[in-house]
Structure 1
Amino acid sequence: MRTLPFSNLYSHPDKPLEEHLIGTAEIALRNLNSSPVHKIADFRKEALKKVLLVSGLCHDLGKATSYFQTYLLGSKKEKKELRQKPETRHGLLSAVSAYYAANCQLANEVEDGEERAFLSFLAFLIVRRHHGNLGHAVGEIFISSKNAKLLAKQVESIEEKKLVALNAHLQNAGLIQAISKPLLAEWVASVKDDLKEHRPGLRRLGKAKNLIYYLTANFLFSLLIDADKSEVVLGEYMSRKELDFDASVIDKYKTILNFKPTKINNIREKAYQEVIKQPIDLGNRVLSINLPTGLGKTLTSFAFAFNLRESIRQKRNFCPRIIYALPFLSVIDQNADEIEKVLTCNGLKTDTNLLLKHHHLAEVYYREDGNEFEPSQAKILIEGWNSEIIITTFVQLFHTLISGRNKSLRKFHRLSGSIIILDEVQSIPSKYWLLIKNIFQLVTQELNSYLVFVTATEPLIFERQEVQ
């Protein structure tokens, strides 16, 4: 097989640009392929894959300018001088490339013109903001005359021979649109007017207040930025450690502890048996465990979640992560320690890729198969929720669900195909109930997830008939 020539362009020191672009696209697609999402609203998975492929392959294409290459490979003094210059920025030019390339990539996949236009705009949006936060989409369609001139200047600086070599790599990786210097010049000349055509449609979506478009944008953005950071720091896709276990691991743990048959322990055992023996209907996405304080909610809720996980694995052919969220830091360590003991007594090695604690005070430490990762790698793995069981706070979970912050949205895609347990859910202020209901309805329906409320006094976030 013929080896393609190196473009002599770099994304990071000592990392070829084509290697980073292709690696990012591959990681993003592997994460999407592993998700049980089949479609989001009317956007089929194949269409989402094409948007993500283009976004990954184009997300740093703006680094091909001579301005960025001079900055990247320059001395410390040169970097300091060039860092603040607008010419070295790469986000907007990369987004313009993704916008037009996505439209081409989707031509044979999406017949509906409005749908194709929206998905192409999403490629533009997530690439433009991949180093920042997601803001108001309507604000992204405006390109100032100053930025339009800057784009033209950046394209002019690109060495055509290097771009030809880079394009060969990208097309070999699946990009349909051939990207050349003359074509880039055409794109930057027309993008200002072309983007304006999205304004009426985006405003209509805003007035409709349909969260499905918010969900789609956040999902794709999350996949892109997680892949981007993972490729740079880890250099590869991190596969999951899917282990088969159900409530029997809790039963074994309880047997070893040999609880005395006191009145309270008998009540706890009765409540436990009632919960785990409940038949599981996978058609019900929102579930509730109502137990008074002191009846062992942690073990009971995890036993139920383990059974639910195993049922999904057998009947739906995917293995959910378990995300267990609590309102208070004070009980996270306590609950995590108990679950660690459950897993350990069943012969499971509780490395971080199996059990992860994540909150703002958590230690930056990650271990897999006895190997400890460097702090920079551990940070990426922890903040990306690379684990089978994640024990975290309401703050981390809700900032992931309802936020535009880059750091929070990185793990948004981990919600797909997950079992999300909300313990002490009654502590959520009532003013947030409607928002939480609306977003969780979408997450469970569109991202193929399950929600489990654990509480002594169930708040009416959902109507009683909506909860099993």
Structure 2
Amino acid sequence: MERTSASFELISHPDRTLRTHLFNCNAISHKILQLKYINSEAFYPVDLLEKMRHLLVYFHDFGKGSFFQYKIIKATEEAENNSKFKNLPEIQGYIAFFNGSRREEFEKLLEEDERLGNHAKLGGYFVLSNFKSEDPILEFILLKIIRRHHGSLNNFFKDSSERLQILLTESEIEYLEKQIKYQDFELYQQILDSQNLSVHKNAWDEIKANLSSGRKLVKIQSALEKQNEIKYFFLQHLLFSLLLSADKGDMMIDRSEKENLIKENQLLSQDLISNYKQQKHKEDKPRALDLVREEAYQLVRKNALEHAHKGFFSITLPTGLGKTYGAYNTAIILQNAYHEQFRVCPRIIYVLPFTSIIDQNEDILRDILVKSGIENLETRLSKNHYLSTSNDKYDEEKLNRDEPDYLTEGWEHDIIVTTFVQFLEGIFTDQNRLLRKFHNMTNAIFILDEVQNIPPQYFEAIEVVFKKMNEYFGTKFVFVTATQPFLFENKSDIQELADPKKYFKGLKRIILDQSLLKKYDKIELDDFVSLLKSDIEENSEKSFLIICNTIKSSQKIFKSLSDEFGEILYLSSSILPNRRMEVIRQIKEQNGRQIVVSTQVVEAGVDIDLDIVYRDFAPLDSINQSAGRCNRNGEKGSGIVKLFNLDKAKYIYDKVLLSKTREILKEYPESILESQLYDLNKKYATAVRKGKAEANDESIYLIEAMQQLRTEDVANKFKLIEADYRNYNVFLPIDDNAQDIWQQYVSIIKETEDSFELKRKIKRIKPQLLQYVTRFPKNKFVPPANQKDRKIMYISNWQENYDLKTGFKSTDDQTFIL
């Protein structure tokens, strides 16, 4: 055992002692858990969770109690901004002792076996000397979390590369015993004394005996696999999230009492939305549809108040009938009911399918809060997606350095607007950075807008997860859509707050016209364009929206129409993000006739209104969303949504969804009235649920993997967005601002040596950078030889391959999807 002076202090980071680091981690994670509601009868007792949390904190850096962490000592010496710390006598003495009599020895040992520098694993085993349970899985969860707190939370007993995770192999025992030989148990015990914890070298023999028996662990693993118990999955997620929030919090929060940045959510008034609506529209002359909207809003409000004790709700209303206000109001009602029942104030998390509509929804929420006199919006409201920037103020206080990212990425604000990807891939994941926010999902009111965008193959797994979150933590879910899918097998488990049948039956805004679909099972693009031009000429006063499934077909239609009709507008994911928002603004504000060609990016939540909509064949959910861009306010007689088929849907949509849509539409005549859509959608949802249940291998696999703590397998199976291997990410220096941002980015990479500082700076500039990033298909674009392996390419002669109006220029007829 290594023996040093009792007056020395162990170092955790170049600017703090290990004692200070662990104290701060303890304060942060204790505060977080203290603010949680836990159903101890259904989940685990709070005192058990508190004990496990405490042990994770004080043993996660146990391996830093030896000179094998000499890189930290070296970094402490070399740092230029920590003179006060490194000049402390206890730190100077520790460093001098190492340099004088230990450096050469430890550098040689580490050169011989670099595993000796791993500080996490030793603490994972020694924590077991302070925790005994009749359930060995609880012990192993502590071990696993500590082992993996600097990486991904891979499979429990054996990772995907077949490396053992719990069992002690001879090779591991050899290097762990070398670490133990040099571990300063006495100096570490000085830290543990104040926590009524202890650690002794002689505990190793028992730990080794218990965890080097393969036969014993096989029995435990077999028992786990037979239990079909998902509670372990949530326990591991919760504790891992607490430790990560504490560990990163100590480094990212720049203040003395770091736990003070963790605040209780504030309760919103139940009349907030109603008062806002009344004030905003007091001068408006109500239209017929406004009266219907208000009636629907009041019905949703009444039912939400009556059923607030339940866990799952749906607001199923036709597009344009005010679902957003109803959803906000429902969330606030549920927040108040939750607080009254559990004495904890849950955060409200608004989840949307696409980043393109987050800003729009966040703007509405911000306006509501501002007009309602809610102060400190930077504290209350945050948006979290890959293009967003972090709030730099909190309670009117300017935040320091990494604090904005800590709060935003950890979902510490009262109200959060985010994406399905951020939400669901923060549960079905093994990734460290995604799991940090999990504890803030536990006591929350979730609004899932356009919930039909969740792939049906995941319905069963999501149902299990949502129901357990509600059972264990009281989490509540509000599903919002015009076409409520059967997300749960038993629809009665979800309380409907609206009366969708009534409101669909009463509407006459649109006609769904499938005459082209019935006449041409598949239509060639040139033939379709010819028919389209004739329609546009015949309806010279009408506005048109044409929605295609692929970039290529949309570009061809745009060019052909532009040649004949002059200035028209174009939207697709190939358009740079900042210019895409400008086009949407033009569509909203432009008076008179408009012709817009788009891909499906225009569907969900983009608040535009045109007279005639053409929609390339797609699943019924998407068709409904397209219909929502047609005659939204019912002031233009009957709008028309015309279906056609260029045979491109197979490239981007699920084949079961497409086949069920075809089957259901065949039952209906050429013209389908809006009043018929409720029954049509219901038939479709039933058919999809049945079709997916018959071959739902993905959900079955995911549920089993969660029960067996195969988190790595969960993450690999659950993908809302598949990794894009078909395209290059390309930065386009289209103006002076873009060039300036790129130069800042290049300077950061060239001039920043510290890897953590580099990550921090890139994270800060990334939202601005990505406003000028698009994608070029790999099968159509040959990049400069010196840039082929870059994550983001810089193309100076971008005009050769890219048009600011329509995106990537393709020179052949091959279909491509961006």
TM-score, normalising length from structure 1?
0.89
Name the residue aligned to 2:71.
Answer: 71
The alignment partner of 1:437 has SS state of helix
Pick the aligned partner of 1:464 from 491, 497, 502.
Answer: 491
Moved more, 191-200 or 146-155: 191-200
Pick the aligned partner of 1:376 from 402, 405, 410.
Answer: 402
Paired with 2:137 and 2:399, the residues of 1 have a C-alpha distance of: 40
1:239 to 2:259 alignment: no
| 1:174/1:355 CA distance change after superposition, 3 Å | farther
Paired with 2:287 and 2:26, the residues of 1 have a C-alpha distance of: 58
Paired with 2:193 and 2:427, the residues of 1 have a C-alpha distance of: 35
Name the residue aligned to 1:296.
Answer: 322
Is the 8 Å Cα contact of residues 129 and 203 (structure 2) preserved in structure 1?
no
Q: Residues 98-137 of structure 1: matches in 2 within 5 Å?
A: 98-103=127-132, 113-115=133-135, 117-137=136-156
Paired with 1:341 and 1:165, the residues of 2 have a C-alpha distance of: 55
| 1:429/1:129 CA distance change after superposition, 3 Å | same
| 1:400/1:434 CA distance change after superposition, 3 Å | same
Name the residue aligned to 1:330.
Answer: 356
1:256 to 2:257 alignment: no
| 1:6/1:190 CA distance change after superposition, 3 Å | farther
Q: Residues 3-402 of structure 1: matches in 2 within 5 Å?
A: 7-39=8-40, 41=42, 43-68=44-69, 70-74=70-74, 85-103=114-132, 113-115=133-135, 117-139=136-158, 140-159=165-184, 163-175=185-197, 178-180=198-200, 182-183=201-202, 185-186=204-205, 189-190=208-209, 192-193=211-212, 197-234=216-253, 236-237=258-259, 238-258=261-281, 259-278=284-303, 279-402=305-428
The alignment partner of 2:318 has SS state of coil
Deviation at 1:223, TM superposition (A): 1.0
Deviation at 1:144, TM superposition (A): 2.8
Is the 8 Å Cα contact of residues 35 and 264 (structure 2) preserved in structure 1?
no
Paired with 1:301 and 1:138, the residues of 2 have a C-alpha distance of: 42
Deviation at 1:364, TM superposition (A): 3.2
Deviation at 1:59, TM superposition (A): 0.6
Deviation at 1:186, TM superposition (A): 3.3
Paired with 2:416 and 2:392, the residues of 1 have a C-alpha distance of: 13
Deviation at 1:191, TM superposition (A): 5.6
Is the 8 Å Cα contact of residues 253 and 402 (structure 2) preserved in structure 1?
no
Output the amino acid matched with 2:199.
I
Q: What CA deviation, in whole Å up to 9, does each residue of 1:243-276 have, x standing for no partner?
A: 3323411122212222431112111111111111
Deviation at 1:151, TM superposition (A): 0.8
Aligned length: 447
Deviation at 1:195, TM superposition (A): 7.9
| 1:51/1:62 CA distance change after superposition, 3 Å | same
Name the residue aligned to 1:435.
Answer: 461
Paired with 2:207 and 2:334, the residues of 1 have a C-alpha distance of: 51
Q: What CA deviation, in whole Å up to 9, does each residue of 1:311-367 have, x standing for no partner?
A: 222233111111110101111100001001101111112433210100111113332
1:448 to 2:474 alignment: yes
Paired with 1:466 and 1:381, the residues of 2 have a C-alpha distance of: 34
Structure index of larger Rg: 2
The alignment partner of 1:98 has SS state of helix
Paired with 2:249 and 2:222, the residues of 1 have a C-alpha distance of: 34
Output the amino acid matched with 2:34.
N
Deviation at 1:150, TM superposition (A): 1.0
Paired with 1:328 and 1:316, the residues of 2 have a C-alpha distance of: 33
Output the amino acid matched with 1:114.
E
| 1:196/1:228 CA distance change after superposition, 3 Å | farther
Name the residue aligned to 2:686.
Answer: none
Is the 8 Å Cα contact of residues 142 and 196 (structure 1) preserved in structure 2?
no
Is the 8 Å Cα contact of residues 426 and 455 (structure 1) preserved in structure 2?
yes
Q: What CA deviation, in whole Å up to 9, does each residue of 1:1-56 have, x standing for no partner?
A: xxxx7651011112111221232123222211211013274532211111111111
1:413 to 2:439 alignment: yes
Is the 8 Å Cα contact of residues 321 and 417 (structure 1) preserved in structure 2?
yes
Q: For CA contacts below 8 A with separation 6 or more, give which structure has more relative contact order.
A: 1
Paired with 1:193 and 1:282, the residues of 2 have a C-alpha distance of: 51
Paired with 1:128 and 1:196, the residues of 2 have a C-alpha distance of: 22
| 1:274/1:461 CA distance change after superposition, 3 Å | same
Output the amino acid matched with 2:218.
R
Paired with 1:282 and 1:341, the residues of 2 have a C-alpha distance of: 26
The alignment partner of 1:197 has SS state of helix
Is the 8 Å Cα contact of residues 40 and 447 (structure 1) preserved in structure 2?
no
Paired with 1:368 and 1:143, the residues of 2 have a C-alpha distance of: 46
Paired with 2:65 and 2:428, the residues of 1 have a C-alpha distance of: 34
Is the 8 Å Cα contact of residues 246 and 309 (structure 1) preserved in structure 2?
no
| 1:253/1:398 CA distance change after superposition, 3 Å | same
Name the residue aligned to 1:424.
Answer: 450
Q: What CA deviation, in whole Å up to 9, does each residue of 1:182-231 have, x standing for no partner?
A: 33553664464268634322333234443221111111111111111112
Paired with 1:352 and 1:80, the residues of 2 have a C-alpha distance of: 48
Paired with 1:40 and 1:204, the residues of 2 have a C-alpha distance of: 22
Deviation at 1:403, TM superposition (A): 0.8
| 1:210/1:47 CA distance change after superposition, 3 Å | same
Paired with 2:40 and 2:152, the residues of 1 have a C-alpha distance of: 25
| 1:195/1:407 CA distance change after superposition, 3 Å | farther
Is the 8 Å Cα contact of residues 323 and 392 (structure 1) preserved in structure 2?
yes
Paired with 1:399 and 1:299, the residues of 2 have a C-alpha distance of: 27
| 1:194/1:233 CA distance change after superposition, 3 Å | farther
Q: What CA deviation, in whole Å up to 9, does each residue of 1:113-142 have, x standing for no partner?
A: 532x22221111111111111111112213
Paired with 2:280 and 2:43, the residues of 1 have a C-alpha distance of: 51
Paired with 2:31 and 2:397, the residues of 1 have a C-alpha distance of: 24
TM-score, normalising length from structure 2?
0.52
Paired with 2:311 and 2:493, the residues of 1 have a C-alpha distance of: 9
Identity in percent: 29
Moved more, 254-263 or 451-460: 254-263
Paired with 1:339 and 1:445, the residues of 2 have a C-alpha distance of: 29
Deviation at 1:80, TM superposition (A): 11
Output the amino acid matched with 1:67.
F
| 1:211/1:189 CA distance change after superposition, 3 Å | closer
Q: What CA deviation, in whole Å up to 9, does each residue of 1:358-409 have, x standing for no partner?
A: 0111113332122232342211211110101111000000011111111111
Is the 8 Å Cα contact of residues 37 and 45 (structure 1) preserved in structure 2?
yes
Paired with 2:471 and 2:27, the residues of 1 have a C-alpha distance of: 27
The alignment partner of 1:453 has SS state of strand
Q: Which structure: greater helix fraction?
A: 1
Is the 8 Å Cα contact of residues 38 and 472 (structure 2) preserved in structure 1?
yes
Paired with 2:371 and 2:317, the residues of 1 have a C-alpha distance of: 26
The alignment partner of 1:289 has SS state of strand
CA RMSD of aligned residues (A): 2.4
Paired with 2:474 and 2:7, the residues of 1 have a C-alpha distance of: 41
| 1:57/1:203 CA distance change after superposition, 3 Å | same
Is the 8 Å Cα contact of residues 276 and 368 (structure 2) preserved in structure 1?
yes
